[in-house]
């Protein structure tokens, strides 16, 4: 590559600030701590809407009427069933499998019974709703199976969030816990062109199928820099144990150039609005569940980390308190990211369906820095 040509090329590492399409699904105002789904603020939605309403809003594009919401709920309920093949699969996994690996593998396996490429929008939408319904059932079923218990079938009278808790815990959750879970699912449902959404878009742009698209999203969300941070953040807070240990821990971690999980964001250069909502929930839930000391430790860690990172515009994100909230709802730590994934299926599906309306294969370029025209050397001559 001639040097003058190379000088004119800019490499956008991590595609930082690169825009790949126009979208009307989500607006993140990273400077003013604002988040909107289809024009509604996340605070307004979590104050008033159910997760089912939020999922409908994201995927279809407007808030549902009562009739449309009832129809979605009926479709979700009919799709909560798992086939004998899926149930046999779930019972075949090692009990030590990570639930994110279980979710990714099992969602992918659904294509074995409903395979095939299609460009039919109604089939893509139907498959997206099917996966949205089955993801929590798969997560909850594996949680029961690894405890040596039989999976539970969801109850018609419960909503999506309440059924999720019921299928995991085996008892009808309180209205309070159900509402907290509902809000947490809505907070995780969508976030513009994040890594896992982009992964789904790339897969969709080749005209692959919805099972492959959602599998790609789950696989991408798994990483600790993305969806895996909630699990890591809670482990960090529990490792610290008491507020008094926070100073030393944060100092040591930063001295070792390690990251404070649940802090920092590519877009937010101030507080993540989802953090604000989850922190308030964690404080109240901590009091209700007798976990106030864990909350106090988290607040001290947050304060110490902020003191050292906020000048670099590194603030707490959705993952700092989400793990605490899920823990206080009695959910095991390795379920946090699968729960995040089950909620984000709505956002992934919304972006994929929108992108396919004006599809273009996603295929960037690299800057070549290797050699050219090398001569082949027979293996016996290679040293």
Looking at beta carbons, which residue is closest to ligand SDX? 264
Q: Among 209, 319, 327, 351, which one carries the catalytic annotation?
A: 319
State in angstroms the smallest separation of the CB of 229 from ligand SDX: 3
Kindly write out the interface string for residues 180-199 of this chain, putting x where it contacts ligand SDX by CB under 6 A and - elsewhere. Answer: -----------x--x-----
Q: Among 160, 265, 327, 351, which one carries the catalytic annotation?
A: 265
Q: Does 300 engage in binding with ligand SDX (CB under 6 A)?
A: no
CA 232, CA 114: separation in Å to the nearest integer? 35
User: Is residue 334 flagged as an active site residue?
Assistant: no
Torsions phi, psi for 241 (to 5 deg): 85, -50
Q: Annotate 345-381 with b (16+ C-beta within 10 A) or e (fewer).
A: bbbbbbbbbbbbeeeeeeeeeeeeeeeeeeeeeeeee
Kindly write out the interface string for residues 318-337 of this chain, putting x where it contacts ligand SDX by CB under 6 A and - elsewhere. Answer: xx------------------
Q: What percent helix, strand, coil does the chain show, rounded to 5?
A: 60, 5, 35
Q: Does 234 engage in binding with ligand SDX (CB under 6 A)?
A: no
Cβ nearer to ligand SDX, comparing 269 with 289: 269
Candidate residues 136, 173, 217, 262; the one interacting with ligand SDX per rule CB under 6 A: 262
Q: Does 12 engage in binding with ligand SDX (CB under 6 A)?
A: no
Site for ligand SDX in 199-228 (CB under 6 A): 225-226
CA 105, CA 328: separation in Å to the nearest integer? 28
Candidate residues 229, 299, 335, 350; the one interacting with ligand SDX per rule CB under 6 A: 229
State in angstroms the smallest separation of the CB of 23 from ligand SDX: 13
Report the residue count for the chain.
Answer: 383
User: Is residue 319 flagged as an active site residue?
Assistant: yes
CA 333, CA 55: separation in Å to the nearest integer? 25
**Cβ-contact 177, 159 below 8 angstroms:** no
* DSSP at 371: -
**Cβ-contact 53, 69 below 8 angstroms:** yes
Known catalytic residues?
Answer: 265, 319
| Contacts to ligand SDX by CB under 6 A | 14, 191, 194, 225-226, 229, 259-266, 309, 312, 314, 317-319
């Amino acid at each position: 590559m001639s040097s003058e040509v190379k000088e004119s090329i800019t490499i956008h590492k991590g595609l930082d600030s690169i825009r790949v399409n126009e979208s009307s699904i989500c607006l993140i105002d990273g400077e003013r701590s604002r988040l909107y789904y289809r024009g509604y603020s996340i605070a307004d939605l979590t104050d008033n809407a159910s997760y089912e309403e939020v999922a409908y809003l994201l995927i279809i594009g407007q808030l549902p009427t009562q009739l449309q919401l009832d129809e979605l709920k009926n479709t979700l309920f009919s799709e909560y069933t798992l086939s004998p093949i899926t149930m046999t699969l779930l019972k075949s996994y090692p009990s030590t499998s990570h639930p994110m690996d279980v979710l990714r593998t099992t969602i992918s396996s659904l294509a074995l019974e409903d395979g095939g490429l299609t460009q039919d929008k109604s089939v893509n939408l139907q498959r997206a709703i099917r996966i949205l319904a089955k993801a929590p059932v798969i997560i909850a079923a594996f949680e029961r199976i690894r405890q040596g218990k039989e999976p539970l079938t969801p109850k018609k009278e419960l909503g999506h969030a309440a059924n999720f808790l019921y299928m995991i815990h085996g008892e009808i959750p309180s209205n309070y816990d159900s509402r907290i879970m509902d809000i947490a699912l809505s907070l995780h449902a969508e976030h513009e062109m994040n890594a896992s959404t982009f992964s789904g878009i790339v897969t969709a742009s080749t005209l692959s199928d919805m099972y492959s698209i959602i599998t790609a999203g789950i696989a991408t969300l798994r990483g600790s820099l993305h969806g895996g941070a909630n699990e890591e953040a809670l482990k960090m807070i529990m490792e610290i144990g008491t507020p008094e240990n926070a100073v030393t821990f944060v100092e040591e971690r930063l001295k070792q150039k390690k990251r404070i999980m649940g802090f920092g964001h590519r877009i937010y250069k101030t507080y993540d609005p989802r953090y604000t909502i989850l922190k308030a929930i964690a404080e109240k839930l901590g009091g209700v569940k007798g976990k106030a000391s864990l909350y106090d430790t988290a607040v001290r860690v947050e304060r110490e980390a902020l003191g050292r990172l906020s000048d670099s515009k590194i603030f707490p994100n959705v993952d700092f308190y989400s793990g605490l909230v899920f823990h206080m709802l009695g959910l095991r730590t390795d379920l946090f990211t699968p729960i995040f994934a089950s909620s984000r299926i709505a956002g992934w599906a919304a972006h994929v369906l929108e992108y396919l309306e004006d599809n273009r294969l996603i295929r960037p370029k690299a800057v070549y820095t290797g050699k050219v025209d090398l001569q082949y050397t027979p293996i016996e001559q290679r040293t």
